[in-house]
Amino acid sequence: MIKISIIGAGSAFTQEIIVDILTIDGIDEGIIALVDIDAERLEIAHKLVEMIVEKTGKKWTVESSTNRREVIVNSDFVINQIEVAGLSTVKMEYEIPLKYGVKQCIGDTLGPGGLFKTLRTLPAWLEIVEDIEELSPNATILNYTNPMSAVTLATTKVTSIPVIGLCHSIQNTSQDLAKYLDVPYEELKWKSAGINHMSWFVELTHNGKDMYPVLKEKIKDPNLLAKDPVKFDAMKYLGAFVSESSGHFSEYVPYYRKRQDLIDIHCSTGYNGGTGFYANNWPTWRKENDEIIRKKLTGEEDIELTPSGEYAAVIIEGIVKNSPKVIYGNVLNQGLIENLPVDGVVEVASLVDQNGVHPCRFGRLPEHLAALCRSNMAFFELAVNAVLNKDKEMAMHALMLDPLTAAICSLGEIKNMFEELFLAEREYIGDLK
C-alpha cells in the first residue's frame, strides 16, 4: 500500500497536493502521514485532509503527529514543505538589509533573506533527512521548500535517497507566455532550462514560427509590458524569457534594484517587484490561509477538487502506475547542462516512470545566460557548505557574491550587514563558528 508523508503539513500547499493525489485515477487507497511541529495547524490540516478523502470517496487513511518518527516509517514518498522560524525572522531579514540600501521584494531564495533562510532551514531539514534514511530508505523525496536550489543541493550532498525539487514557475510561465502571445497553450512549444527561478525559455515557437519577434513587438503595448515588467525588459536585452515572477527575478540579477530610480522604472507592486512585498504580507497570508481552512472545516467555504498543476502528484502517478510523464524538476546537474557546474542543482525536463525520475540532457545554455546562473549557483554552493561545515565566514562569503547585495554594498558593508543579521538570528541558525 502506498504511503505518502508530508513534512510541514500546515503549509498552504497541503490542500492542493492532497487534492491532486486523491484525484489520480486508479490510486484509490493508501496512507497519508502528516507532520508539523505546530500542533494547532497540524490538527486543522488533518481534519481538512480527512474531509478531502471523504469527498473523493476513496479509502485513504490519514495519520498525523508532531513527532515525525512516529508516522513517516516506510514512506514511499516524503514531501518537504517546512518553514523554519519564518514568522520570527521575516521582518528582520527585510529591515536590516534595508538599512544598507538592499531593497528586497521576496527575499526567500537569494540575497540576505535567502541566505539566512538557508542558514535556518538546512539544520532542521538535514535532521529530517537522517530520519528518512533510517525509517524510509526506499522513499523518494519531493522538495517544495525554498530556497529550492539550496535545500535540494544540501540533500544531494548528505544522502543517496532520490530527491527532486519541485516548483510551479515553469508551468505558470509557459501558461503566461501563451496568454501574452494569444495562442492556445497546447499549441505553444518551448525549450527551457537553467536553475530554479532562473530557467530560460531559449526556444518559443507556434506552428513552427519563432514567437520571440512577435512577443517583442507585443510589448510595445505598455499594458502588456506592465504585466511582467522586469522579465520583459530582461528579454529585450538577454534574448530569452525567464521563469518565476518579475519580483523574484529582479533580486537575482544586479540590474533592477540597485537604485530607487531603477525600481521606479522597472518594478511595480506585489509580485512585480514591490519593495518589502513578502515581509509585509507573509504573516497575514499565513493567518488568512489558516482562517480559510477553518471555514472549509465548518462548511462556510467549499473544498474544490480542482487539479493545481503542481508536479508532486504527477510524479507519484508516474512511478506508482508506471505511467510515463514529463515534468520540470530541480536535480543534480551531472552534465545535463554542459556549461553549468556539474555538482550543482539545475532545473530541466525529466521523464518519470516506475523506475523513478530521469532528468533529460539539455546541452548548453547561451553563455551569457549560463553565466547569470553560475553566479547564483556559487551563492548556493557556499551557503550550503557553510551549514555543512559550520563555517560562518563561508556564509558571509556567499552574501558577498550575491548579485543584488554586491551591486549596492562594499565588502565592508556586507560584512557589517551579515554580522547584524547573524546576531539578530543567532538562535535560529544552528552552530556556525
DSSP codes joined into one string, 284-334 = HHHHHHHHHHHHHHHTSS---------SHHHHHHHHHTT--EEEEEEEE-T
List the alpha helices (DSSP H) in 2-85. 13-22, 39-56
Does residue 363 come out as left (phi exceeding 0), alpha (psi in the -120 to 50 range) or beta?
left
Pairing of strands 140-143, 188-195: unpaired
Beta bridge partners, 206, equal 188, 209
352 touches 319 (CB < 8 A)? yes
Q: Going by C-beta distance under 8 Å and a sequence separation of 6 or more, which residues neighbour residue 214?
A: 181
Distance between CA atoms of residues 106 and 154, nearest Å? 22
Instruction: Find the catalytic residue in 168, 197, 248, 266.
Output: 168
Distance between CA atoms of residues 278 and 280, nearest Å? 5
114 touches 376 (CB < 8 A)? no
| 349 SS3 class | strand
DSSP codes joined into one string, 175-202 = HHHHHHHT--GGGEEEEEEEETTEEEEE
39 touches 14 (CB < 8 A)? no
Please say if 168 is a catalytic residue.
yes
Distances 318 to 133, 142, 312, 350, 394 between C-alpha atoms, Å: 23, 14, 10, 11, 40
Q: Return the active site residues.
A: 168
